[in-house]
């Protein structure tokens, strides 16, 4: 599925997850999720859910036949459900080389439940000096991600959207989201979205089109105007973006909306 088209509908990933949860609940038999790449194997095990509580969630990583890590995973609560890849068609742990060092990382993904929110990842990287795995956590909010090699260099990126825009100026359904692309490099997540202006431009165009569509349906469109302007700033076209937003939004609260929007874009780093 085309990534930009997918994120035009902000609820698509949430719906995919709810579908996966529904299927799992009906079956109620899976107790492990596994994944493998090269000589690295990973397994997440857990007790069968009771009242949607996932207890004793443990991760085991084996490298070249040797068990390197076995530990209980840090859930925020027992309602955090371990899941497979964010693609609802797969139920396996992503084990992928995320930084090009020929050593696969292991991604343990969790869904906290609810209509939309929240999703987070625990990413495990093998440290050759200590011969141990080190872990970081990344929050996705409502967004989730797709692993996709955007620049065709053989190393996947995390394709997502900026979930800080959820509810910022409108309801969840009427909120727009700028594109976000992350790279995992030496144990850190790096926002590299601005390196892909063509993808940003495509997303910006769709945000504007969706604004025009929902305006015809009676919504004021502030959620999509905010995301559109943020995207224009990423393209270095902030002044043109402001001109279009100011021409488009004529309601009585426009002065306050523009003030709040400018403040929000500064706080989120779109206006430097």
240, two tokens: 């043109």
The answer as to whether 95 is a domain residue is yes
The answer as to whether 266 is a domain residue is no
CA distances from 154 to 12, 157, 186, 210 (A): 27, 10, 16, 33
142, two tokens: 């409502």
The answer as to whether 207 is a domain residue is no
The answer as to whether 191 is a domain residue is no
Rounded distance, CA 147 to CA 145, Å?
A: 7
The answer as to whether 198 is a domain residue is no
Give 163's DSSP letter: G
CATH (domain of 79)? 2.40.128.460
Residue 47: domain span: 31-141
The answer as to whether 128 is a domain residue is yes
The answer as to whether 135 is a domain residue is yes
Per-residue pLDDT of the chain (272 residues; tens, 9 = 90+): 343 333 444 444 444 444 444 444 444 455 899 999 999 999 999 998 878 889 999 999 999 999 999 999 988 888 899 988 765 456 799 999 999 999 999 999 999 987 768 999 999 999 999 999 999 999 999 989 999 999 999 999 999 999 999 999 999 999 999 999 999 998 999 999 999 999 999 999 999 999 999 999 999 999 999 999 999 999 999 999 999 999 999 999 999 999 999 999 999 999 99
Q: How many separate domains does the chain show?
A: 1
Could you list the beta-strand ranges (E) of 56-104. 58-63, 66-72, 81-83, 95-96
Give Cα 94 to chain centroid, integer Å: 14
The answer as to whether 65 is a domain residue is yes
The model carries a pTM of 0.84
């Amino acid at each position: 599925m085309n990534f930009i088209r997918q994120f035009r509908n902000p609820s698509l990933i949430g719906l995919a997850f709810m579908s996966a949860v529904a299927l799992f609940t009906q079956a109620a038999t899976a107790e492990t999720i596994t994944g493998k790449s090269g000589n690295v194997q990973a397994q997440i095990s857990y007790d069968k859910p009771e009242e949607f509580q996932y207890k004793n969630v443990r991760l085991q990583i084996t490298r070249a036949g040797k068990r390197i890590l076995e530990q209980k995973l840090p859930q925020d609560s027992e309602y955090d459900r371990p899941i497979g890849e964010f693609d609802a068609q797969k139920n396996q742990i992503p084990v992928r080389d995320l930084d090009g060092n020929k050593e696969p990382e292991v991604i343990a993904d969790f869904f906290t439940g609810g209509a939309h929110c929240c999703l987070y990842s625990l990413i495990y990287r093998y440290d050759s000096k200590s011969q141990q795995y080190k872990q970081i956590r990344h929050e996705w909010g409502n967004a989730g991600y797709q692993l996709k090699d955007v620049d065709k260099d053989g190393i996947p990126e995390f394709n997502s959207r900026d979930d800080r825009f959820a509810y910022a100026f409108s309801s969840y359904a009427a909120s727009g989201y700028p594109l976000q692309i992350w790279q995992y490099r030496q144990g850190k997540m790096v926002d590299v979205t601005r390196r892909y202006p063509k993808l940003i431009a495509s997303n910006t165009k769709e945000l504007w089109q969706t604004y025009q569509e929902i305006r015809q349906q009676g919504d004021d469109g502030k959620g999509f105007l905010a995301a559109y302007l943020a995207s224009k700033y990423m393209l270095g076209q902030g002044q043109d973006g402001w001109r279009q937003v100011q021409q488009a939004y004529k309601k009585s609260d426009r002065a306050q909306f523009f003030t709040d929007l400018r403040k929000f874009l500064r706080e989120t780093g779109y206006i430097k």
